[in-house]
């Protein structure tokens, strides 16, 4: 452990190192159920209704496909797959091109300083520029304008504070800069003959940071657990934190998801006794960026409720730069990855949400009210039922309602301590639920379970058992899988579903036919690990982004840098569309209004990207187009 540089760790590895979950002492031997590589997908074919049977049936036939079927399957992909890469740039298929739209530190307003390739951004401009570590995003067509709302998940202090020795903030100004580089950017974009640009000084442009005022709404609003000295009402908080994935409501607002909020809080009093809920949420005595040393709000020994005001989904109206973002507590509090919206046949709004930590859960919210275009929407995400997923081994599953009766907790407590509520009803522990994606052409949803080295090794932070189970079938799972479910009666609001695994990532070259070789639709030509970002295009193809091990050796040999692939839900086929610079993660995807451009996020490059050697590395959004300007999804 001594040679690990904590500053270089990913957030989840940092959590694991700084605040490890207790080692289990009573882990039983793992049941080898339905695990043979060939039997895995095949064993789950015989259930389901409608789309499920159609999808899996066709998928099964691909395994023994006739050439006509194989050709039909290949026909849905309008590109020739790319090989792996280990270099410092982006690769897209032949006939496609890419260009940088915006990089960390680029001006949103003309009064900001020009970016300095050696010095970065001065504090006075730090909330007037594009944020760091781009992540989830959505494009909104507002009148004849195109506006992107995009998350800035965390920072890379060694890059962002180049005047410091090791990226450690030395002053309140340093902390202020880091706070300003995170949160959300709203920006107008436009395309001309030179390509896509941010429209500097557009009235839509806006930065939402760790200090922007938010309104707290829903069951937890005004509860004692959310009151602070600065806000005795418990309804007004400052900032949105660790904004990871995102979502778009049917009424055209942006949902930004607070993931590893725990890491921003610390204590100046080493003897501070942490309450039990802090332990479940990983709130410790040491923060990641020393906020508590320079900004008292983040000092838990002085503001015990402040962390309880983070960990929510926040709704932002991108059409109104003066609007106050709203924390929707009815959607629960956990390490929110993204928020995938669907409409039930009744018009009820359904929001699927993953809690990205080892052994945590998959949730959904169903509104009590129904959505009617043009009618008021403000209460829809405040009034409804939060559910958590429970999976059976036989391919069935249910959404268990987190009610007062089922949990013994009050409604505000369920909203604030959602993890504990879910543990009480025996929810299924998952392999780090990342993005959920809802298929627009078939009633089904997918969740990327990115990996879980603790599966079968130790319990989650709440002590829940994490033995292998149906959708999480591999002990010490370093590859990840994509789960899929088909709601009962084709109704996303229904309380039961059928499930299967769309793909188990793996390395067939290293592990052959064992479970770690992956499912049938993984081969030497499309290998990847750690699926994370996911979004369907309008034709029902699933775009899959990875955030994994890019060392290209050992268990990961033949996988190369992180990558974006495209999957066909019907045939199971998956092909590689893009590779990204070494060290970076590809995360965040959205399309232009005319769907001739796909915007893709490149987060935390370790490679000298995109400005080249000797310049600061900068997270960026790139614009990918076809040379012939045809539709791209």
The 8-class DSSP code of residue 219 comes to T
Which of 15, 132, 138, 153 is close enough to bind ligand FEO by CB under 6 A?
A: 153
Find the part of the chain contacting Ca ion (CB under 5 A) among 298-306, 366-374, 487-495, 544-552. 544-552
Nearest approach in angstroms of CB 481 to ligand FEO is 15
Is residue 448 within the footprint of ligand FEO (CB under 6 A)? no
Decide: 265 and 275 in contact? Cβ < 8 Å: no
3-state secondary structure of 118: coil
15 in contact with ligand FEO (CB under 6 A): no
Provide the minimum distance between the beta carbon of 132 and ligand FEO in the complex, in angstroms, as a whole number. 13
444 binds, among Ca ion, ligand FEO, none (CB under 5 to 8 A by kind): none
Using CB under 5 A as the binding rule, whether residue 306 contacts Ca ion is answered as no
Partner from Ca ion, ligand FEO, none contacting 315, C-beta within 5 to 8 A by type: none
Options 356, 360, 382, 444; binder of ligand FEO; rule CB under 6 A: 356
Binding status of residue 299 toward Ca ion by CB under 5 A: no
Q: Is 537 near ligand FEO (CB under 6 A)?
A: no
Tell me if 132 contacts ligand FEO by CB under 6 A.
Answer: no
Buried b (16+ CB within 10 A) or exposed e, 392-428: eeebbbbbbbbbeeebebebbbbbbbbbbbbbbbebb
Question: From ligand FEO, Ca ion, none, which one binds at residue 259 (CB under 5 to 8 Å depending on kind)?
Answer: ligand FEO
Shortest Cβ 434–ligand FEO spacing (Å): 5
CB nearer ligand FEO, residue 434 or residue 537: 434
- Count, residues near ligand FEO per rule CB under 6 A: 6
Q: Work out the burial of residue 277: count CB atoms within 10 Å of its CB; fewer than 13 is exposed, 13-18 middle, 19 or more buried.
A: middle
- φ, ψ dihedrals at 6, nearest 5°: -60, -30
Closest CA to 309 of 415, 423, 384, 407: 415
- Does 357 contact ligand FEO by CB under 6 A? no
> Alpha-carbon distance 417 to 283, whole Å?
13
Nearer to ligand FEO by Cβ, of 228 and 562: the residue is 562
Q: Annotate 51-80 with DSSP letters as a single string.
A: HHHHHHHHHHHHHT--HHHHHHHHHT--SP
DSSP 585: E
* Interface map 321-340 toward ligand FEO (x if CB under 6 A): ----------------x---
For 32, list phi and psi in degrees, rounded to 5: -90, 80
Rounded to a whole number of angstroms, the minimum distance from the CB of residue 327 to Ca ion is 20
Helix/strand/coil for 407: helix
Q: Pick what 500 binds: Ca ion, ligand FEO, none; C-beta below 5 to 8 Å, kind-dependent.
A: none
Site track 483-522 with Ca ion (rule: CB under 5 A), x = hit: ----------------------------------------
Minimum distance from CB of 395 to Ca ion (Å)? 27
Rg (CA), the chain: 23
Encoded one letter per residue, x for contact with ligand FEO by CB under 6 A and - for no contact, window 241-280 reads: ---x--------------x---------------------
- Distance, in Å, from the CA atom of 56 to the CA atom of 147, rounded to the nearest integer, reads 38
Question: Closest approach of Cβ 549 to ligand FEO, in Å?
Answer: 15
Which residue, 494 or 589, has its beta carbon nearer to Ca ion?
589
Residue 151 dihedral angles phi and psi, to the nearest 5°: -80, 150
Closer residue to Ca ion, CB minimum distance, 575 or 585: 585
Which of 374, 241, 249, 365 has its CA nearest to residue 310? 241
Instruction: Confirm if 325 and 209 have CB atoms less than 8 A apart.
Output: no
The minimum distance between CB 158 and Ca ion, in angstroms, equals 16
- Quick one: what does residue 306 bind among Ca ion, ligand FEO, none, with the CB cut-off 5 to 8 Å set by partner type? none
- Nearest CA to 123 among 178, 185, 187, 184? 178
Site for Ca ion in 517-536 (CB under 5 A): 532
Instruction: Report the half-sphere exposure of 204 (CA within 13 A, side-chain side).
Output: 24
Give SS3 for 277.
helix
Q: Minimum Å distance from CB 50 to ligand FEO? A: 31
* Residue 258 vs 617, nearer CB to ligand FEO: 258
- What is d(CA 273, CA 431) in angstroms, rounded to the nearest whole number? 30
554: buried, middle or exposed (CB in 10 Å: 19+, 13-18, 0-12)?
exposed
**Pairing mode, strands 145-152 and 396-401:** unpaired
One character per residue 568-597, x = contact with ligand FEO (rule: CB under 6 A): ------------------------------
Rounded to 5°, angle at Cα 622 from 617 and 626: 145
* Residues near 380 by beta carbon (within 8 Å), at least 6 away in sequence: 349, 367, 369, 371
| Binding partner at 258 among ligand FEO, Ca ion, none, C-beta below 5 to 8 Å by kind | none
Footprint (CB under 5 A) of Ca ion, residues 415-434: 434
Would you say 130 or 278 has its CB closer to Ca ion?
130
Binding status of residue 547 toward Ca ion by CB under 5 A: yes
- Binding track, positions 416-445, relative to ligand FEO; x by CB under 6 A: ------------------x-----------
List interacting residues with Ca ion (CB under 5 A): 434, 532, 547
Residues lying near ligand FEO in the complex (CB under 6 A) are found at 153, 244, 259, 337, 356, 434
């Amino acid at each position: 452990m001594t040679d690990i540089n904590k500053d270089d760790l990913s957030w989840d590895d940092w959590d694991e190192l700084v605040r490890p979950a207790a080692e289990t002492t009573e882990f039983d031997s793992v049941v080898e159920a339905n695990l043979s590589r060939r039997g895995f997908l095949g064993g789950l074919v015989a259930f389901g209704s409608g789309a499920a049977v159609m999808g899996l049936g066709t998928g099964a036939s691909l395994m023994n496909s006739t050439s006509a079927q194989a050709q039909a399957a290949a026909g849905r992909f309008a590109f020739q797959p790319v090989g792996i890469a280990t270099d410092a740039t982006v690769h897209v298929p032949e006939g496609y091109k890419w260009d940088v739209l915006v990089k960390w530190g680029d001006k949103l307003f003309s009064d900001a300083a020009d970016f300095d390739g050696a010095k970065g951004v001065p504090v006075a401009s730090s909330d007037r520029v594009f944020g760091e570590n781009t992540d989830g995003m959505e494009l909104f067509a507002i009148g004849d304008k195109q506006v992107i709302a995009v998350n800035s998940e965390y920072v890379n202090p060694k890059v962002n504070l180049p005047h410091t020795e090791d990226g450690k903030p030395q002053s309140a100004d340093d902390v202020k800069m880091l706070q300003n580089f995170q949160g959300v950017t709203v920006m107008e974009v436009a395309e001309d003959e030179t390509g896509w640009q941010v429209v500097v000084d557009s009235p839509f442009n806006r930065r939402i940071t760790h200090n922007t005022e938010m309104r707290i709404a829903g069951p937890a609003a005004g509860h004692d657990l959310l009151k602070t000295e600065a806000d005795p009402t418990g309804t007004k908080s400052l900032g949105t934190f660790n904004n990871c994935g995102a979502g778009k409501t049917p009424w055209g607002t942006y949902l930004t998801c607070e993931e590893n909020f725990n890491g921003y809080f610390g204590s100046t009093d080493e003897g501070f006794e942490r309450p039990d809920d802090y332990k479940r949420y990983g709130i410790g005595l040491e923060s990641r960026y020393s906020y508590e040393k320079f900004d008292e709000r983040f000092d838990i020994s002085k503001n015990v409720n402040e962390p309880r005001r983070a960990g929510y989904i926040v709704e932002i109206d991108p059409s109104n730069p003066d609007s106050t973002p709203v924390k929707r507590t009815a959607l629960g509090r956990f390490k929110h990855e993204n928020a995938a919206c669907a409409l039930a046949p009744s018009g009820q709004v359904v929001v699927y949400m993953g809690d990205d930590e080892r052994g945590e859960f998959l949730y959904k919210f169903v509104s009590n009210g129904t959505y009617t275009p043009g009618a008021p929407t403000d209460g829809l995400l405040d009034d409804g039922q939060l559910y958590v997923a429970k999976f059976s081994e036989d391919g069935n599953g249910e959404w268990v309602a987190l009610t007062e009766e089922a949990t013994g907790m009050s409604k505000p407590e369920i909203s604030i301590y959602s993890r504990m509520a879910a543990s009480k009803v025996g929810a299924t522990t998952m392999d780090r639920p990342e993005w959920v994606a809802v298929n627009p052409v078939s009633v089904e949803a997918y969740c990327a379970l990115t990996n879980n080295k603790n599966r079968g090794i130790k319990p989650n932070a709440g002590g829940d058992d994490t033995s292998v189970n149906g959708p999480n079938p591999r002990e010490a799972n370093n590859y990840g899988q994509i789960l899929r479910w088909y709601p009962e009666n084709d109704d996303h609001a229904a309380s039961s579903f059928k499930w299967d695994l769309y793909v188990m990532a793996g390395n067939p070259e290293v592990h052959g036919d064992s479970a770690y070789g992956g499912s049938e639709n993984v081969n030497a030509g499309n290998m990847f690990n750690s699926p994370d970002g996911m979004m369907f295009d309008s034709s029902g193809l699933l775009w899959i982004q990875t955030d994994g091990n890019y060392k290209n050796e050992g268990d990961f040999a033949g996988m190369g840098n992180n990558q974006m692939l495209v999957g066909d839900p019907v045939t199971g086929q998956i092909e590689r569309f893009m590779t990204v610079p070494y060290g970076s993660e590809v995360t965040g995807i959205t399309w232009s209004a005319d769907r001739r451009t796909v915007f893709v996020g490149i987060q935390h490059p370790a490679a000298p990207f995109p400005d080249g050697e000797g310049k600061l590395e900068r997270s960026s959004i790139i614009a990918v187009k076809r040379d012939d300007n045809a539709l791209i999804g």
